[in-house]
A and B are shown apart, each in its own frame.
Chain A
Amino acid sequence: MRKGLIKGEVLAQLTDVVGQENIGLSEAELLCYSYDASLAAAKPCSVIHFQDISQISPVIKILASHNISFTPRAAGTNLCGAAVNMKGGVILNLAKLKKIRQIDTVSQIAVVDPGIVNLQLQNELAKYGFFYAPDPASQKVCTIGGNISQNAGGPQCLKYGVTCDHIEKLEVVLPDGSERIFSRQDPGPDLVSLFCQSEGTLGVIKTAWLRILPMAKKITALTCFFKSVEDSMNAVSTIIAEGIIPRALEEVDALSIKAGAEKEEIPQEAEALLIVELEDANEAIEKKVLEIFSSSKGFSYEITSDPDKREKLWKIRKESYPALARIAENVMVEDGVVPRPMLAQAVKRIKKVLEENRLRAGLVFHAGDGNIHPNIVFDQRDKDETKRAKIAGEEILRICLELSGDISGEHGIGVEKRKAMSLRYPQETINLFYRIKKAFDPMEILNPYKKLPLSSGQIKPIDRKEPPLTSKATKIVNIARERFHTKKPSILTSQKADNTSDKKILSSFELTDIMDFDKGNMTITVESGMRISALKKFLKEHNLDVALPLDETTLGAAVALKLYPSMRSLITGMDLLLSSGEVIRLGGKTIKSVSGYNLAPLILGSRGAFAFIISMTLKVYNPAFKEKGKVEDPLIEPMPNFNDPILKNIKKAFDPNNLFNPHVFGEF
């Protein structure tokens, strides 16, 4: 694979579709598409510059028919190497596909091409008083296609959720060149969510329907300095634990403050700066935040709603990365995430690692969702320093994992964190991810060698101190194992039933335990047999609530039948039992995580045909600080089309022997 791959017949066919001038084969062009914003690099054999979205499918059909691998790429700002073709195949340059097809302020939808730059879209929307919530730091250059593939976050995502929560519909080109549209309205498993965060390994995004929102009327920014990072972290934890949901909750450490603030006057003893932004907030909430500042030993705080002054307050945060870039040849932007109460501990340990490796780094946090970005400065030409930076990077991820966190909050896995995936997930989970990838791309020609570790079983995953399964759950796991050996099918239910192994039933009825309740993190992990009403009752005793209506259904049934589609954004983690008896633990207590494939939403509406839900982790909130949303009526979905080959392939990835609810898919 490499040179000379695109010639003769292939070249002629491609030329027919895009024209000779849009096929790059020169050494200079190949060099320019061998990198993205990460340290990963690999030279492709060709670059295809698309001029219209209608060219994507025919080009992919040609490449697929010749078994040539390809990687989609737009702005190339990826921080983990997702936009580099590791197999020396073709780069699909989508950067010029940047049309905004439609802005519909009535149904609050924008329809766009994949190459539209995030900020350009925002500017267009602003004209109508609307905005698109995900606002990654690189929004000036990064594209919507890339944002979707990476499930990008940003400061505003604390309040509004990450990219996945804002995609209504996707038109994608699959690895064989066929086109499909996936919508949130489709009954059954949520394939839109699966594409978010897939890092261009399942399909190429052709058109996206985005949810847009009316702009807030008033935004208040509150800033405060602290004498130690620990103090500021305490303030963060208190704000979160109070149930206040700011629009953004950002923190910068001393090195970053000093780098970012050139002329601004910064108090001498400032070790951390916290920025809290509230949207259309009443005075009571503002007052509460100021109180928390003061009780956490904060000083010289400021509060303003004036847009110009707000921008000034933000300047230090926004300038910190640029300023670091000025003091060093390279900046490695690490990206780890922990449950919010663990932040202070994480920072302490990360600092120690940096010190041990003689490295300088500015720490910048999306503190509100536990996302830490240590920006390590080094010189790539200094081999030893580069090595130390990489070691420290890995060590930081280990720390996050040990604190029940994750290896990426928003940047993704790509090439750079493939090894860390082995630290994060046990082999059976990685195998499941791999089967999902193969369900879409059996020839493995779309963005190959990404997201998953290349070696298997060599690295032991780190103990993330997840709550252990209850004895009742373990019993069910054992029954599933037994049945797997004898290839006996099971009917999954939440009704009361006898689970003994000679029967055909697998019931979650008895799984009603609370496995973990972390008030400081605002999450709860409960078993799937618990009724929504019981969960709400428990939370009420702690002055909290979950954004679900009062319902006697169990959580497991609500998920399996997709009674409340919005549950998708409440769930941060899910424990699944496969028909093979393997236990898959997805996500966890972190608010953001983009490691692996986004599988939990697939279970939503899967009608028990994919996996048995053991438990799930849900976000909770404090009703005192949140407006009451509309009460959602349970959705009675039409039967999904389980003859869809994609759903069938996914079913095979989860349950190859059709042992769970075999009637759903029938014979295959």
Chain B
Amino acid sequence: MESNEKVLIKGNYAIAQAAVNAGLQCYFGYPITPQTEIGEYLSGVMPELGKAYVCAESELAAINMVLGAVSTGVRAMTTSSSCAVALMQEALSYACGDELPVVLVNVMRAGPGLGYIYPAQGDYNQSVYGGGNGDYKIIVLAPSTVQECIDYTYRAFYLAQKYRNPVILLADGLLGQMMEPASFGENPYPEVDVSSWALTGAKSREGRAIYSVGPDEKKQIQHIYNLFEKFELIKKNETSYEEFNIEDADIILTAFGSMTRNIKAAMTVLRDKGLKVGCFRPVTLSPFPYERISNLAKLGKKFVVVEMNMGQMFKDVRYAVNGKSEVSLINRPCGEWLSVEEIVSAVENIYKKGACYATSI
């Protein structure tokens, strides 16, 4: 499936096929709702293409299989959901330390704990800040449409290898289960040369070791500085966001992932009512567009963060705004997506009464 023709496709299938188009060589996975279709789809496609597909015994095993596979220079991924992604945090920390291009798709469900399969955005912190040990940073891409599920999957594989850093594609149950017209096009990113580090056997060269720890303190310290220098480069090159009607806006609705859809609709309604509302949507949750938000705040623009969690991105927006203007939160922890009407009325209230925090509609 590689053409500009539009097809009606479910988010999960779109991610799976986009991964294949991006050159996925190995898939390792364990079932969990609401992302199971990705593994089901690939279980048919991968063997036909002569590529590897393993039903892993656990998410722990799955992500570590990815670790092993990508260390040899091929493209590999695992897909999972919230409470099972929690199990993978150790390996993500290793992957950052080892500088391995792991690609992980998290189709979020509700937590904490087992939670349920309601859509939610409660894994912002888990993805952006991570649950693993040590100082590390992951690249996090948050799609808001099925088309973006495809586009960002291409980008995820490219960025992972380009920077030798794990990438999380942070989707949610809504996107995973939703059908939308989208086209696969062609993977727009070039091949990445991995020959300088990939493990392919010590032929005509010394043995290579990929590891994160050293008994040499100076080396270990330098290693972490190097990782963070690399992330500065990622920040410079890859920080991306979308904005709409920002110029004259005095309130900017901010959301990530599929909640972006509703803030855009709410913006249109509010504009029709004569309110100067704009939209800002980080595409990369990590690196987060702090600088852009900070600059907009300095112009006096107020921010309203809309998200399906208890205010996780809200904290980052507040950090970026840094007291230069007001930041409000419209949220619900999980379940039914905040509707356009709910957002509109909450914003109207903010216009009347000023900033509100953790409204939890």
A binds B: no
B-side interface residues toward A, CB under 8 Å?
A: none
